[in-house]
Amino acid sequence: MGESNVWSGCFRNAMELLARDYNCAPADFTKAENTLTVSALLPGRRVYSPEAPFFQMATTGAGAVVAADARLHPFLRRWMRHRRGSWLFNLPNLPPLAAELERFGWRLAGTQHMFLPHRETAGDCPFPLRWYGPGEFERFYGDPRFVNALCPRFQRERPDRLAVCAMDGENIMGMAGISEDAPGWMQIGVDVLPACRSRGVGTALVTAMKNRVLAQGDTPFYGAAVANYHSWNIALNAGFRPAWVELSSEPVSKPYTAAR
């Protein structure tokens, strides 16, 4: 599969997924104008909460798509007017939005940069790999070494499907895992033990997992916090490139959690 085919196929699928997440049309993510919709729980969406998002916003670099509770719409129409979609994510524009969310007991959460594969990466992995299927990786749940590679526990809405470890003899150097966040959509997370960093372990693991997911006909994707350039470099070196940016919200009562 060529580079352009990998990227175009994954990007097209991503727009269809985001349309379900944001209650809009796939084309809304590639048009210049901003789009405002009412949040909805549509079949086939990514499930990170049992409730419809109070506010979430995404852009591929063109117009922004905002899905929000209807109570926010009068404010959002004024806030979005005369602003390019990508500019809505800039820090000077966010305090008024944060203040409006706080009126309803919500706050802005993480800004995630999301990556899709644009090429398959050939070549032998420089480290021995050990793969774990369902029923084999559950023993790693709760292990503080692998908080990104695996969910904290089994989650029916976004189950872990596969894990792979880079090995030094019988010692684990790092792990990558995938959770199925929507049907056929596998999010890759990775952890490398401190003593094994800067040796290409993370890139090797993410590359191996990406190639496995593509080979089985599913779509791999990868997320990184805005300033986590160690994670960014792993994604880029493993054959991913930035595809969209998301900004989400959470209840004020929820403790802050670290983004990948």
DSSP calls for 163-228: EEEEEETTEEEEEEEEEEEETTEEEEEEEE-GGGTTSSHHHHHHHHHHHHHHHTT-EEEEEEETT-
- Residue 3's pLDDT band (cuts 50, 70, 90): low
Element (H, E) at 102: helix 94-103
Residue 260 has pLDDT above 50, yes or no: no
pTM for this structure? 0.92
pLDDT tens-digit profile of 102-141?
Answer: 999 999 998 999 999 998 776 678 999 999 999 999 999 9
> What mean pLDDT is predicted for residues 27-56?
95
User: What mean pLDDT comes out for the span 22-47?
Assistant: 96
Task: Give the rounded percent of residues in the chain with a pLDDT score beyond 90.
Answer: 89
pLDDT in tens, 176-230: 999 999 999 999 999 999 999 999 999 999 999 999 999 999 999 999 998 999 9
Q: What average pLDDT does the segment 149-153 reach? A: 94
Q: What is the mean pLDDT of the chain?
A: 94
Within 8 A by CB and 6+ apart from 64, the residues are 34, 35, 57, 58, 80, 85, 86, 88, 89
Whether the Cβ atoms of residue 197 and residue 162 lie closer than 8 Å to each other: no
- Whether the per-residue pLDDT at 258 is higher than 50: the answer is no
pLDDT at 90: 94
Structure tokens at 3: 């580079």
Q: How many Å is the Cα radius of gyration of the chain?
A: 19
**pLDDT tens-digit map of 63-78:** 999 999 999 999 999 9
What is the pLDDT at residue 33? 96
Class of CATH domain 129-238: alpha beta
Domains in the chain: boundaries: 3-117+247-251, 129-238
User: For the sheet containing 55-59, what is the strand order?
Assistant: 35-38, 64-68, 55-59, 240-251, 106-117, 219-225, 185-192, 171-182, 160-168, 129-132
Amino acid at 8: S
